[in-house]
Amino acid sequence: MIKASYKKYILNFKNPSGTSRGVLRTKETWFLILSSEGKKGIGECGLFRGLSVDDRPDYENKLHWVCENINLGLDELLQQTIEFPSIQIGLETAFKSLESDHTFELFPSKFTKSEAAIAINGLIWMGTEAFMKQQIHDKIAAGFKCLKMKIGAIDFQTECGLLKSIRKEFTSANIALRVDANGAFSASEALEKLKILSDFDLHSIEQPIKQGQIQEMAKLCAETPLPIALDEELIGIFSSKKKQELLQTIQPQYIILKPSLIGGFKGSDSWIEIAAKNNMGWWLTSALESNIGLNAIAQYTYIKNSKMPQGLGTGSLFTNNFDCPLQVNNGTLQYNKKMGWNFNL
């Protein structure tokens, strides 16, 4: 018999973090804790208010139901939580954790043995020009070979100026540049802006227009001078048939997988399978989880064998995160076995 409980936890940002949806100061998350025969399993349900499809009034009720019915088993619980992707990843992680000999070693690999690292992009948060410039210099000095800059909150000309200044110093052979618009462009202006951005030899742009404009996005992907990556567009699509329809209609160059927002590892697997059939690239990204969720996503990411830089370096943003073996070093995420866990709720 498994016993289950859940707990809400508020993560506090070290610095208010700017996105095109506003400034984030705190991030709510939930932990699912399982116990059976003296063993413990821990999973994080990384709810993202304002972005997750499961940001709904009955969220806590669903968590309560999951705990009451935990002995239905993982497969049945995943079926019953199809509309709650962040609960799904919490369940997958908690069950894997319970089965493991080491609570936080979920996908044993060279990564968890400290023998291999994951290349990641350095994230440049929105803010004043001086603040963004400082972050760019810091990330390059820290050994990052791929930068991801959030755009769409300050003046477009200023953002282009920042990209131009990076390209003056570094070619795309030295530094890959990704930009993330978080849907900030209108459909009518997007192509023009993409043409301007293509001068900076970018790796890709994420979600140039708001999700849900399927035909406009398809047109954009067909005419774009630089690769487009779908991000928010994947949220709330549950069936394989719908996933297939979406990708075949839009034909993006890349898709970005946030397991907490798209149905955990199983959900990510199904998107990867469909992308492969359609010759589309992909990479994985965390979504402001604590180190519990980041650890699970990082271990899963490593075993998927993607050669591209992943979006996994967010664990250091919070003042009250949990100590863990994950370390960012020289533009990579590493698992330092000598470092222990400190998970106290």
Tell the burial category of 128 from Cβ atoms under 10 Å away from its Cβ (0-12, 13-18, 19+). exposed
Q: Please enumerate in sequence order all residues whose Cβ is within 8 A of that of 56, keeping only pairs 6 or more positions apart, or say none.
A: none
Q: Please enumerate in sequence order all residues whose Cβ is within 8 A of that of 224, keeping only pairs 6 or more positions apart, or say none.
A: 191, 194, 253
**Strand pairing partners for 7?**
31
Alpha-carbon torsion angle 155, 157, 162, 167, nearest 10 = 150
Specify whether 258 is catalytic. yes
Q: Which of 80, 109, 46 is nearest to 264 (CA)?
A: 46
Set 27, 96, 150, 243: catalytic member:
150
Specify whether 150 is catalytic. yes
Set 258, 266, 337, 338: catalytic member:
258
**Greatest CA span in the chain, whole angstroms?**
62
Q: Which residues are catalytically annotated?
A: 150, 258
